[in-house]
Amino acid sequence: MPIELPKLDDRAFRDIADEAIARIPSHTPEWTNFNEADPGVTLLELFAFMAENMLYRANQIPERNRLKFLQLLGVPLLPAQPARGVVAFDNARGPLATLTLNCGEPLRAGSLPFRTTQGLDVLPVESALVFKRTLASPDAVTLAAYQDLYASFSTGGAAPELSLYETVDLASAPGTEIGETEGQCFWLALLRRSADRNATREDVRAAIASKMLTICMVLAPEPATTRRLAAGEGVTHKPPQLVMEIAAADHLGPPPDRLASWRSLPLRMSGDGEVEPLRLDVELPAAEGLLTFDDVDPLEAGSGELPPLFEDPQTDARVVLWLRIRPEGDLGGARLAPLWAGINACAVEQRDLVRNEVIGLGSGAPDQQFRFARGPIVTGSVQVSVAGTPWAATDELYAAPPEIALRDARLPQSLQPAGGGELSRVFAVDAEAGLLKFGDGLRGARPPFDATILVDYDITQGADGNVTAGAVKLGPRLPAGLSVANPIATWGGRNAESADEGERSIQAWLRHRDRAVTAEDFRDLALRTPSVRLARVEVLSAFKADVGAQAGAVTVMAVPASDPKHPDAPRPDPVALRAVCEWLDPRRLVTTDVYVTGPRYRGLWIAVGLEPDPGVALAELRPRVRAALLAFLSPLPLADASTRPGGIDDITPGGWPLRAPVIAAQLLAVVARVPGVRLVNDLLLGEESSSGPQPTERIAFADLDQPELLGLLVEARDFAPGENPLVGLRDATLGRAGVASGDRRLPVPFIPDQC
Q: Using one digit for the tens of pLDDT, what is the confidence trace for 471-500?
A: 999 998 998 888 999 999 888 888 888 777
Last residue of a domain, one of 343, 375, 390: 343
Please give the mean pLDDT across all residues of the chain. 83
Residues 318, 171 share a domain: yes
DSSP annotation of 344 reads S
- Residue 156 above 70 pLDDT? no
Least trusted range by pLDDT, from 349-363, 496-510, 673-687: 496-510
Residues 533, 630 share a domain: no
Q: Nearest to residue 131, comparing CAs of 738, 755, 746, 747?
A: 747
pTM of this prediction?
0.63
Last residue of a domain, one of 343, 360, 391: 343
In a domain, 234, yes or no: no
Q: What is the mean pLDDT of residues 736-749?
A: 46
Count helices and strands (H / E) in the chain.
12, 34
Residues 358, 269 share a domain: no
In a domain, 481, yes or no: no
The reported pLDDT for the residue numbered 609 is 92
- Residue 455 above 90 pLDDT? yes
Residues 287, 214 share a domain: yes
Confidence of residue 400 (pLDDT cuts 50, 70, 90): confident
In a domain, 755, yes or no: no
Residues 30, 131 share a domain: no
Inter-residue contact 401 to 423 (CB < 8 Å): yes
In a domain, 476, yes or no: no
Confidence of residue 742 (pLDDT cuts 50, 70, 90): very low
Confidence of residue 737 (pLDDT cuts 50, 70, 90): very low
- Residue 755 above 60 pLDDT? no
Q: Nearest to residue 447, comparing CAs of 370, 371, 381, 379?
A: 370
Please report, for the domain that includes residue 534, its CATH number.
Answer: 3.30.300
Q: How many domains, the chain?
A: 5
Buried/exposed 490-523: b ≥16 CB within 10 Å, e otherwise: bbbbbbbbeeeebeebeebbeebeeebeeeebbb
Higher pLDDT, 539 or 300: 539
The whole-angstrom separation of Cα 403 and Cα 407 is: 13
In a domain, 482, yes or no: no
Least trusted range by pLDDT, from 17-31, 117-131, 219-233, 387-401: 219-233
Higher pLDDT, 129 or 745: 129
Confidence of residue 273 (pLDDT cuts 50, 70, 90): low
- Residue 227 above 70 pLDDT? no
The whole domain housing 511 covers 499-597
- Residue 647 above 60 pLDDT? no
The reported pLDDT for the residue numbered 257 is 67
In a domain, 659, yes or no: yes
Q: What is the mean pLDDT of residues 660-683?
A: 93
Confidence of residue 741 (pLDDT cuts 50, 70, 90): very low
Residues 301, 173 share a domain: yes
Residues 284, 180 share a domain: yes
Residues 318, 390 share a domain: no
Altogether, the residues listed in the chain come to a count of 755
In a domain, 646, yes or no: no
Residues 356, 337 share a domain: no
Residues 262, 338 share a domain: yes
Residues 585, 665 share a domain: no
Residues 541, 591 share a domain: yes
Higher pLDDT, 196 or 332: 196
The whole-angstrom separation of Cα 334 and Cα 123 is: 31
The whole-angstrom separation of Cα 332 and Cα 744 is: 19
In a domain, 433, yes or no: yes
